[in-house]
Structure 1
Amino acid sequence: MKNRIKIFLGVLLLASYSCSEDLLQRDPVSSFSAQGFYQTSSDAQAGVFGIYDAVQATFSTNFSYWGEGRADAVNTNQAGDPFLLQQNTLNTILASARWNNIYETISRANYAIKYVPTVFDGDSEFGRQLVAQARALRALSYFYAVRVWGDVPLIIEPYESIQQNIFPERTAKELVLMQIEADLIYASENCRASFGGQRDRILITRGAADAMLTHLYMWKKDYVNAIASADKVLANSLYSLVSINDWSRIFTQGYTNESIFEIGYNEVQRNSLRVLYALGSDSNFFPSQSFRDSFEEGDLRRNLIYDVTETQPRKIWKFFGEGFSDESPEPSDKNIVMFRLADIILLKAEAHHQLGQTAEALTLLNTIRVRAGLPNLDEATAINLYGDVESAILHERLIELSFEGHRWFDLVRTGKAIEVMNPINGLSDEANLVWPIHEDAINRNPSLVQNPFYQ
């Protein structure tokens, strides 16, 4: 049964550090001036929990808009962002072109990174663990920002004085990626290996930092380091693949052994999964024809992802369970799974293939295929079915990670976005792969320059 504890209102998270009755009643900080706030360890914890609170808001809808809305697995009948993303007619007033929530998360992280160490005497392991979580969440935010907008302002200090530059220019994405890497390496070295129980899935652990590093290195095409980071994840005893009989539980119940990091929601803090996927003909997205046609015969995941009995399925029930029919527009309390073991296994397979290690790549790919009831692929069969081994791996990611927010970034990362999307919506210019910066940000900051394609 869904844990009814108000996860980010303090009880579940704070229990990992203290059983003080007063401490358990502390709420996370949402908006504050850090000067004078950080006095005790409970203040430091509350500041970090406030970052998780901001992450909830950032990804509630945008994990899908940014990761699926411009890709080929979805279609839509809805106006606004879903239609404009699918048609590749992005403009400067798109809701998904706003970066406000991302920079709110970054701001909270910057305060915590600066002030948490001042609470503790000397070098505190607990203090480093808190800072490591803050740096990982800042890195996660910047990693999305770079992939969505390209060059973005890099802000790593809190705003506390009018002497500071309040109109930052955009920073070259290569420099932002360097900061992301530094933050994640620190997190990998200093985060807790485990918090115990459900907290291992909704707090940043060492394994979560390693998973993020794997994604970062794949984005940078640093395949040697991607394999090294992925190996740490695969060797981590917290993670194991669930059986196909439990595959739906990854999304419908959460907190499975396959999950590496998921954003926790509950009856109070809720997200937009229903509106995105579950409202039948009124949902933002439904499975595209090309996605439905891409399944191999015998794939056991198909029935778990959408209603195969419908000629024109209008609902994705992957996140709610096979047969889900409740079309209430109410917000959802399901967790959003950001990183899981199958994702990392397939990234590692891709990295091995890029290094010419095809046998290793196929072994990893077949681990995921066999769970889904599909036969092993050898190189000849992979080429026959998909053209090459890389395409076979990318296809497996399309199915296995469907609608989880990875498809668009996979297409961009592998250089296939134009090839795949041009026949669908005319995408033809690499400058069009990023989003426009929202007009509000441009109007408020005279130092910002719009992405060239949208000028």
Structure 2
Amino acid sequence: MKNTLKIFLGILLLSIYSCSDDLLQRDPISSFSAQGFYKTSSDAQAGVYGIYDAVQATFSTNFSLWGEGRADAVNTNQAGDPFLLQQNTLNSILASARWNNLYETISRANYAIKYIPTVLEDDNEFGRQLVGQARALRALSYFYAVRVWGDVPLILEPYESVQQNIFPERSDKELVLNQIEADLIFASENCRASFGGERNRILITRGAAEAMLTHLYMWKKDYPNAIGSAEKVLANNLYALVPMNDWSRIFTQGYTNESIFEIGYNEVQRNSLRVLYALGSDSNFFPSQSFRNSFEDGDLRQDLIYDVAETQPRKIWKFFGQGFSDESPDPSDKNIVLFRLADIMLLKAEAHHQMGQTAEALSLLNTIRNRAGLANLDEAGATNLYGDVESAILHERLIELSFEGHRWFDLVRTGKAIEVMNPINGLNDERNLLWPIHEDALNRNPNLSQNLFYQ
């Protein structure tokens, strides 16, 4: 059985050094057999662009459903996934329970990882850069899969023969996490340090790989390595915190110096940001009461995130600009920022705290607070306001990274999901932290078993 690798390209013979708009051009023109497709360096580059295309589709909506939908910062009036996630009544026919798009991304990455070295030999720097991007995007996909479903099938080769196992069993999540780490280390060593200009934000650089490693190490509670990878990000001259008067530009315009990796969209390839956040009473999510009550007085970010003049705000305008009122249901061409410097700084602060290095943790925390117009916290102040330093850092992540797809994973990672969500929707079983596997996957693969909570 031969699989085909569907690669959507606007212009086939592109150079990796071309402008960022080329990557975002997505006019479907053909499908190629992977074995016959990889013949030139341009084909190798096109194969990697095909992975980015799959990433665009995967995270268009899911970055929010997976990262925010089950957490405390949002509320909803919508039926379907938003309601079921908020009520913690997940089932095996949820759209967000599908992993198809993640495995499409992984499949395209596997083809690239296998065939690029047949075109560009191992000692070819350009080839290693391309494989590094492919491995990082594969790692990104598996990292989401592990955090959403736990044990998942670990597939590292493209399907090209009936001799291969087409019904893979689920692999232990620790094995998957180890593979993610290996892929990201390779990417951090072999991806380009810089592409120049906007390409540094929508292509995988070494800095992006190090940012992903920081998230991975924090998930594994490997705090020394998390600090080490974060330090590489902070030392990278591609990244700097933007001043507060430019904070909205991170999301409304994209490509700022604070951005480490964002998924690029344009008028051709669009996402669901409007449907998720911007349609007033018809949007999937709006700011919850507990989120609105969690701001300290004088926080300059609050009215950049939602309309503080409304008694019950029904939209999140963080991604569209203060005063945004266009309630068109049209798809959005705004980029989705997955990783940025403030995120990594706060993870580093958390890691320092876990290592007993409170001064370092507070210094990083206060850097983010100060930008937002808030006063420094010392240990006593953090404890007085939030209970302890760790909770102060987690609260800062709630505000600073609001609706960017981190909150649910932060709650799970820090062991606070049940504590926070039980009063809201009755979450009380650690097995319930995972999503169910979609029934389509179970029906197609007899070697898969449903997660225990949903059996």
User: Could you say whether these structures have the same fold, taking a TM-score greater than 0.5 normalized by the shorter chain as the test?
Assistant: yes
User: Which residue does 1:413 correspond to in 2?
Assistant: 413
8 Å CA contact 2:436, 2:454 repeated in 1: yes
Rate the CA distance shift 1:130–1:291 in 2: closer, same or farther, 3 A.
same
- Partner of 2:338, secondary structure, is strand
CA deviation after TM superposition for structure 1 residue 444, in Å: 0.2
Per-residue deviation, residues 269-298 of structure 1 (Å, max 9, x unmatched): 000000000000000000000000000000
User: Which residue does 2:401 correspond to in 1?
Assistant: 401
Identity %: 88
Rate the CA distance shift 1:122–1:148 in 2: closer, same or farther, 3 A.
closer
Rate the CA distance shift 1:168–1:356 in 2: closer, same or farther, 3 A.
same
Stretch moving more, 26-35 or 386-395: 26-35
Per-residue deviation, residues 235-276 of structure 1 (Å, max 9, x unmatched): 000000000000000000000000000000000000000000
8 Å CA contact 1:28, 1:49 repeated in 2: no
User: Which residue does 2:297 correspond to in 1?
Assistant: 297
User: Which residue does 1:3 correspond to in 2?
Assistant: none
User: Which residue does 1:239 correspond to in 2?
Assistant: 239
- Partner of 1:261, secondary structure, is strand
Rate the CA distance shift 1:415–1:360 in 2: closer, same or farther, 3 A.
same
Matches within 5 A, 1:316-355: 316-355=316-355
Return the letter of the residue paired with 1:223: Y
Distance 2:30 2:207 in 1: 27
- Partner of 2:144, secondary structure, is helix
Return the letter of the residue paired with 2:260: I
What TM-score results when the alignment is normalised by the length of structure 2?
Answer: 0.95
User: Which residue does 1:221 correspond to in 2?
Assistant: 221
8 Å CA contact 1:14, 1:24 repeated in 2: no
CA deviation after TM superposition for structure 1 residue 142, in Å: 0.0
User: Which residue does 1:57 correspond to in 2?
Assistant: 57
User: Which residue does 1:5 correspond to in 2?
Assistant: none
Rate the CA distance shift 1:197–1:424 in 2: closer, same or farther, 3 A.
same
Equivalent residue pairs, number: 446
Hey, which bits of structure 1, 4+ residues long, moved more than 4 A?
8-13, 22-31
CA deviation after TM superposition for structure 1 residue 328, in Å: 0.1
User: Which residue does 2:5 correspond to in 1?
Assistant: none
Return the letter of the residue paired with 1:444: R
Rate the CA distance shift 1:24–1:70 in 2: closer, same or farther, 3 A.
closer
- Partner of 1:14, secondary structure, is coil
8 Å CA contact 1:67, 1:409 repeated in 2: yes
CA deviation after TM superposition for structure 1 residue 386, in Å: 0.2
CA deviation after TM superposition for structure 1 residue 35, in Å: 1.2
Rate the CA distance shift 1:184–1:117 in 2: closer, same or farther, 3 A.
same
CA deviation after TM superposition for structure 1 residue 123, in Å: 1.4
User: Which residue does 1:450 correspond to in 2?
Assistant: 450
Distance 1:164 1:16 in 2: 33
Matches within 5 A, 1:64-213: 64-121=64-121, 123-213=123-213
User: Which residue does 2:3 correspond to in 1?
Assistant: none
- Partner of 2:262, secondary structure, is strand
Distance 2:95 2:432 in 1: 17
Stretch moving more, 25-34 or 87-96: 25-34
Distance 1:102 1:298 in 2: 41
8 Å CA contact 2:98, 2:438 repeated in 1: yes
8 Å CA contact 2:71, 2:421 repeated in 1: yes
User: Which residue does 2:391 correspond to in 1?
Assistant: 391
Distance 2:32 2:357 in 1: 51
Rate the CA distance shift 1:43–1:138 in 2: closer, same or farther, 3 A.
same
Distance 2:344 2:38 in 1: 37
Distance 2:157 2:86 in 1: 37
8 Å CA contact 1:28, 1:46 repeated in 2: no
Distance 2:183 2:23 in 1: 28
Rate the CA distance shift 1:143–1:189 in 2: closer, same or farther, 3 A.
same
CA deviation after TM superposition for structure 1 residue 11, in Å: 6.3
User: Which residue does 1:428 correspond to in 2?
Assistant: 428
Return the letter of the residue paired with 1:225: N
Distance 2:47 2:111 in 1: 8
CA deviation after TM superposition for structure 1 residue 76, in Å: 0.1
What TM-score results when the alignment is normalised by the length of structure 1?
Answer: 0.95
8 Å CA contact 1:28, 1:47 repeated in 2: no
8 Å CA contact 1:61, 1:271 repeated in 2: yes
Return the letter of the residue paired with 2:225: N
Distance 1:30 1:87 in 2: 43
- Partner of 1:35, secondary structure, is helix
- Gapped runs of 5+ residues in structure 2? 1-7
Matches within 5 A, 1:277-316: 277-316=277-316
CA deviation after TM superposition for structure 1 residue 409, in Å: 0.0
CA deviation after TM superposition for structure 1 residue 29, in Å: 8.7
User: Which residue does 1:4 correspond to in 2?
Assistant: none
CA deviation after TM superposition for structure 1 residue 320, in Å: 0.1
Rate the CA distance shift 1:408–1:25 in 2: closer, same or farther, 3 A.
closer
Per-residue deviation, residues 354-380 of structure 1 (Å, max 9, x unmatched): 000000000000000000000000000
8 Å CA contact 1:81, 1:96 repeated in 2: yes
- TM-align CA RMSD: 1.9
8 Å CA contact 2:273, 2:331 repeated in 1: yes
Per-residue deviation, residues 407-448 of structure 1 (Å, max 9, x unmatched): 000000000000000000000000000000000000000000
8 Å CA contact 2:68, 2:407 repeated in 1: yes
Rate the CA distance shift 1:31–1:345 in 2: closer, same or farther, 3 A.
farther
Per-residue deviation, residues 168-203 of structure 1 (Å, max 9, x unmatched): 000000000000000000000000000000000000
Per-residue deviation, residues 296-337 of structure 1 (Å, max 9, x unmatched): 000000000000000000000000000000000000000000
Distance 2:13 2:141 in 1: 21
Return the letter of the residue paired with 1:336: I
CA deviation after TM superposition for structure 1 residue 338, in Å: 0.2
CA deviation after TM superposition for structure 1 residue 17, in Å: 3.4
8 Å CA contact 1:29, 1:50 repeated in 2: no
CA deviation after TM superposition for structure 1 residue 38, in Å: 0.4
8 Å CA contact 1:217, 1:226 repeated in 2: yes
- Gapped runs of 5+ residues in structure 1? 1-7
CA deviation after TM superposition for structure 1 residue 32, in Å: 3.6
8 Å CA contact 1:97, 1:438 repeated in 2: yes
CA deviation after TM superposition for structure 1 residue 16, in Å: 3.7
CA deviation after TM superposition for structure 1 residue 30, in Å: 7.9
8 Å CA contact 2:170, 2:448 repeated in 1: yes
8 Å CA contact 1:13, 1:199 repeated in 2: no
8 Å CA contact 1:248, 1:319 repeated in 2: yes
Rate the CA distance shift 1:385–1:24 in 2: closer, same or farther, 3 A.
closer
